[in-house]
């Protein structure tokens, strides 16, 4: 390749190399943290149970869980306040968890007996801190903006430029980009690790990045998906849903809310019930298709009720919802956490989470090597100039 075409190719390659380098060095640090914490969180249920067995394990795992109303009565009598949230036994969580008004602790009740067994400041203990670091870098909305932007940069800048730079100039050199060379020097092995693993894992990294950015820009990405799928109406922003406030009407009690929950989505497993936090908000119910982990999309109905009338304000049905909502709600969560293919993809996603840190470190080593090479070249040029002057 020569002439003008060759010059344009070299210029474009150099430009994309600089873009890949500087975005990788900056966003790569954030992506490394997100990847490592994401690897841990892939096995969050199992790790949480291992760390807090006295809270999460039932005294009799084979027994049918007691009716949740018994747990509500025990919690309100023992702690002298109304129950505001209920987390039902699902997956590795064998017990009930409730929160009561005026108490920030998560209260655990044995599912076999309904008796109080203990409390935690965070529902999943240290694993909630891992999730906070993964999604928010522990700095709230600012962190969510940083992680969401970094995920988009990975998907649309680092992976696309990386694939362009990986592409061999001659097809006979294709094999070199698909394998690690035996008996290579440290410098060459480092280069191969960056190039080869980056290529093979580009698709799962893209899927993890796209689905991860959804958690940082949920409303914006949902709106974009709705438009791309030609939705007839936009997805409601659930935080903006409101009850029809009635001054002389008392809100539903937790028992009435449980009755409504039992009537809706029969055959589904109850997951959470969250009472309205203030006089204008709605009451939230969520369900699961199965209490156990299953491969494939996850069907999670979600209902928002008027806290005064019990009427449905918004109902997300995972089977009848518009295709754009199905895509984000049914598929994004299991894809992002590696649950889409069951244990096989969970294990793969664990190792996938280590990849951004590996690419960042190998990228830094490559950058330092180029910097030293340029410095040596510059020194030789200066020495040559001095020699000619002498």
140: left (phi over 0), alpha (psi -120 to 50) or beta: left
C-alpha span between 200 and 305 (Å, rounded): 46
Per residue in 118-153, pLDDT (tens digit) is 999 999 999 999 999 999 999 999 999 999 999 999
Given a cut of 90, is residue 60 above it in pLDDT?
yes
Give me the pLDDT at residue 174, please.
75
Q: Are residues 34 and 155 in the same domain?
A: yes
Measured CA distances, 176 to 98, 105, 196, 360 (Å): 57, 56, 9, 21
Cβ distance 152 to 209 under 8 Å?
A: yes
* Domain-ending residue, one of 124, 144, 171: 124
Distance CA(254)–CA(44), nearest Å, equals 29
Are residues 139 and 184 located together in one domain of the fold?
yes
Q: What average pLDDT does the chain have?
A: 91
- Beta bridge partners of residue 18, listed in sequence order: none
157-194 tens-digit pLDDT: 999 999 998 887 766 667 777 888 888 899 989 999 99
Q: How many residues does the chain have?
A: 390
Q: Are 100 and 219 part of one and the same domain?
A: no
pLDDT value at position 379?
54
| Residue 218 and residue 135 share a domain | yes
What is the predicted pLDDT for the residue at 316?
A: 97
The tokens describing 253, both together, are 């009690």
DSSP string, 259-302: HHHHHSSTTSEEEEEE--SSSSSEEEEEEES-SS--SS-----E
**Which residues have CB under 8 Å from 263's CB, separation 6+?**
none
As a whole number of angstroms, the distance between CA 334 and CA 92 comes to: 17
318-363 pLDDT, tens per residue?
Answer: 999 999 999 999 999 999 999 999 999 999 999 999 999 999 999 9
Cα angle: 356, vertex 360, 366; to 5 degrees: 145
What distance lies between CA 204 and its chain's CA centroid? 14
C-alpha–C-alpha distance, residues 352 and 100, integer Å: 39
Of the residues 85, 104, 124, which one is the last residue of a structural domain?
124
Range of the domain at 79: 53-124
Within this chain, do residues 146 and 20 fall inside the same structural domain, yes or no? yes
Query: Based on the domain organization, do 148 and 120 belong to the same domain?
Result: no
Q: What is the CATH number of the domain that holds 78?
A: 3.10.450
59 and 154 in a single domain? The answer is: no
Domain count, the chain: 2
Residue whose pair of structure tokens reads 């969250």 in the numeric block:
274
Domain boundary among 124, 154, 185: 124
Evaluate whether residue 185 is within a structural domain.
yes
Q: For residue 328, is it within any domain?
A: no
Residue holding tokens 């649950």? 339
């Amino acid at each position: 390749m020569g002439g003008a075409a060759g010059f344009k190719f070299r210029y474009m390659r150099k430009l994309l190399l600089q873009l890949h380098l500087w975005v990788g060095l900056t966003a790569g640090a954030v992506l490394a943290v997100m990847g490592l914490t994401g690897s841990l969180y892939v096995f969050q249920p199992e790790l949480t149970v291992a760390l807090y067995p006295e809270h999460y394990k039932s005294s009799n795992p084979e027994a049918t869980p007691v009716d949740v109303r018994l747990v509500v009565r025990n919690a309100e009598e023992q702690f002298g306040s109304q129950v505001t949230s209920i987390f039902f036994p699902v997956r590795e969580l064998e017990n009930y968890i409730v929160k009561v008004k005026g108490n920030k602790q998560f209260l655990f009740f044995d599912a076999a007996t309904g008796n109080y067994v203990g409390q935690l400041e965070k529902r999943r203990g240290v694993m909630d801190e891992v999730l906070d670091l993964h999604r928010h870098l522990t700095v709230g909305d600012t962190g969510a903006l940083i992680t969401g932007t970094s995920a988009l940069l990975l998907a649309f800048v680092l992976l696309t430029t990386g694939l362009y730079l990986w592409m061999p100039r001659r097809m006979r050199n294709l094999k070199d980009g698909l394998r690690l060379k035996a008996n290579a020097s440290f410098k060459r092995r480092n280069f191969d690790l960056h190039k080869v693993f980056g290529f093979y894992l580009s698709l799962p990294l893209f899927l993890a990045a796209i689905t991860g950015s959804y958690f940082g820009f949920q409303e914006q990405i949902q709106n974009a998906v709705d438009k791309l799928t030609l939705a007839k109406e936009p997805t409601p922003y659930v935080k903006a849903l409101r009850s029809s406030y009635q001054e002389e009407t008392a809100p539903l009690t937790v028992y009435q809310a449980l009755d409504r929950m039992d009537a809706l989505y029969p055959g589904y497993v109850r997951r959470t019930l969250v009472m309205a936090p203030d006089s204008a908000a709605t009451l939230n119910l969520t369900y699961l298709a199965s209490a156990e982990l299953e491969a494939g999309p996850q069907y999670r109905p979600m209902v928002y009720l008027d806290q005064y009338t019990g009427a449905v304000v918004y109902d997300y049905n995972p089977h009848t919802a518009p295709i754009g909502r199905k895509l984000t709600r049914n598929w994004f969560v299991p894809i992002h956490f590696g649950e889409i293919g069951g244990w096989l993809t969970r294990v793969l996603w664990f190792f996938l989470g280590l990849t951004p840190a590996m690419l960042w470190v190998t990228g830094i080593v490559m950058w330092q090597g180029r910097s030293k090479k340029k410095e040596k070249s510059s020194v030789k040029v200066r020495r040559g100039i001095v020699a000619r002057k002498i």
